[in-house]
């Protein structure tokens, strides 16, 4: 075993995290946690993970659930393609593996939403296989310790990091070592405010020796985020709001949202004309503009509250639903819609 690995394993046993709800779980539970932890902090994931496992305790239950039920529990966690891929993967496991989570790395790797590092993490943590992982925390630890410059998202830099991840992998105690790498990145070798004095591998850390801890790993090349504008039509009949199911692909895919006008030149009359409906409009008011940031752009949303005298004819069809305001919070809705609910209730 390499000295690097043995120091990390010893540190994890004494100082690592041991109370996370997915530690000691089966492959299914570890898989759910690994998907949720992509792009999301542990503290945010824990309550979602517990609710998800309580509702969908195994592959078969998840596979047989509706997409709406899955996304309702995912609502607020963001990156909703992860939830849709979990559902699709569970259906694939039920169909092809009789509901048993596969043990084979290649079989795991072909499941929707799973890449090389996630498949390796399941194999290492659940089955104790000798597999290297390379999530965001591990990239940071290895980049600093080995002195690998550049943005980890660059293919050449990522290749160097994978090479080191493979070289440093121990022959035994792989699950403990894997957990140690993740714990180090999350608690000691963090993005900001690193705690180098308590690092078990500080003696031969290149970044520490060369005073480059704050430089490594390199940052993503910065580009100004494009800004887009949209209008939410909050069609309110008494205490019920009209929601439309978003297409499966794109932002908020598969979630329920108010009708949305993407084009600044479009208006309420354009929406009504396109859908062949007659709006009995009693009052229209504009709520506070809100901004939601995605990975690749910012979206400025103008919410228009339209109080109706009656429900329009021909508006109820598949993909549309009227929901009471008190019931919407339990539906599969994105975070911006959830944050609008207090404004809507106060403006009634």
The catalytically annotated residue of 34, 166, 215, 316 is: 34
Closest among 321, 238, 317, 315 to 272, alpha carbons compared: 315
Q: 125: which 2 tokens?
A: 């943590």
- The 10 Å Cβ neighbour count of residue 5 is 21
Q: 199: which 2 tokens?
A: 């690092």
What is the Cα 289 distance to its own chain's centre?
25
Distance in angstroms (rounded) separating the CA atoms of residues 42 and 16: 14
According to DSSP, the residues that pair with 308 across neighbouring strands are: 237, 281
Say if strands 227-237 and 260-261 run parallel, antiparallel, or are unpaired.
antiparallel
Contact 319, 275 (CB under 8 A): no
Distance in angstroms (rounded) separating the CA atoms of residues 297 and 314: 35
| Residue 34 known to be catalytic | yes
The catalytic residue positions are 34
């Amino acid at each position: 075993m390499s000295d690097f690995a043995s120091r990390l394993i010893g540190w994890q046993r004494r100082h690592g995290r041991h109370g996370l709800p997915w530690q000691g779980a089966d492959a299914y539970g570890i898989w759910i946690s690994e998907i949720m932890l992509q792009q999301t902090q542990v503290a945010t994931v824990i309550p979602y993970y517990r609710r998800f496992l309580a509702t969908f305790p195994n592959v078969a239950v998840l596979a047989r659930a509706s997409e709406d039920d899955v996304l309702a529990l995912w609502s607020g966690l963001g990156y909703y393609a992860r939830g849709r891929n979990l559902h699709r993967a569970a259906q694939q496991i039920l169909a092809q593996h009789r509901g048993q989570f596969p043990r084979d790395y290649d079989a795991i790797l072909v499941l929707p939403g799973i890449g090389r590092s996630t498949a390796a993490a399941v194999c290492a943590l659940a089955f104790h296989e000798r597999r290297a992982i390379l999530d965001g925390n591990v990239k940071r630890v290895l980049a600093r310790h080995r002195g690998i410059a550049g943005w980890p998202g660059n293919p050449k830099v990522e290749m160097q990091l994978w090479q080191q991840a493979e070289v440093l992998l121990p022959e035994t105690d792989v699950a403990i070592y894997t957990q140690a790498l993740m714990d180090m990145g999350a608690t000691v070798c963090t993005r900001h405010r690193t705690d180098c004095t308590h690092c078990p591998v500080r003696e031969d850390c290149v970044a520490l020796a060369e005073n480059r801890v704050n430089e490594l790993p390199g940052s993503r090349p910065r580009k100004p985020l494009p800004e887009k504008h949209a209008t939410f039509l909050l069609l309110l009949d008494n205490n019920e709001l009209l929601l439309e199911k978003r297409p499966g692909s794109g932002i908020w895919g598969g979630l329920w949202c108010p009708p949305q006008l993407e084009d600044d030149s479009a208006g309420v009359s354009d929406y009504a004309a396109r859908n062949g409906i007659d709006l009995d409009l009693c009052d229209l008011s504009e709520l506070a503009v809100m901004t939601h940031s995605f990975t690749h752009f910012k979206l400025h949303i103008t919410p228009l509250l339209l109080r109706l005298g009656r429900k329009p004819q021909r508006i109820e069809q598949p993909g549309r639903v009227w929901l009471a305001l008190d019931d919407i919070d339990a539906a599969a809705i994105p975070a911006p819609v959830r944050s609008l609910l207090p404004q809507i209730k106060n403006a009634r």
